[in-house]
Chain A
Amino acid sequence: ETGVTQTPRHLVMGMTNKKSLKCEQHLGHNAMYWYKQSAKKPLELMFVYSLEERVENNSVPSRFSPECPNSSHLFLHLHTLQPEDSALYLCASSQDDLAGEGNEQFFGPGTRLTVL
Chain B
Amino acid sequence: QKEVEQNSGPLSVPEGAIASLNCTYSDRGSQSFFWYRQYSGKSPELIMFIYSNGDKEDGRFTAQLNKASQYVSLLIRDSQPSDSATYLCAVNPNNFNKFYFGSGTKLNVKP
Contacts and interface: CB of A to CB of B under 8 A. Distances in A.
Interface of A: 31, 33, 41-43, 45, 48, 50, 55-56, 88, 90, 94, 96-101, 103-110, 112
A33 B36 CA distance: 16
B102 A101 contact: no
Contact of B97 (A31, A88, A100, A109): A31
B34 interface: yes
A93 to B, nearest CB: 10
Interface stretch (B9-17, B38-46, B73-81): B38-46
B104 A108 contact: no
Interface residues of B, number: 24
B44 A42 contact: no
A111 B50 CA distance: 29
B103 interface: yes
Contacts, number: 63
A98 B32 CA distance: 10
Interface in B21-48: 31-32, 34, 36, 41-46
Contact of B46 (A33, A106, A109): A106
B61 interface: no
A103 B42 contact: no
Nearest to A45: B99
B92 interface: yes
Nearest to A49: B97
B51 A42 contact: no
B34 A90 contact: no
B2 to A, nearest CB: 9
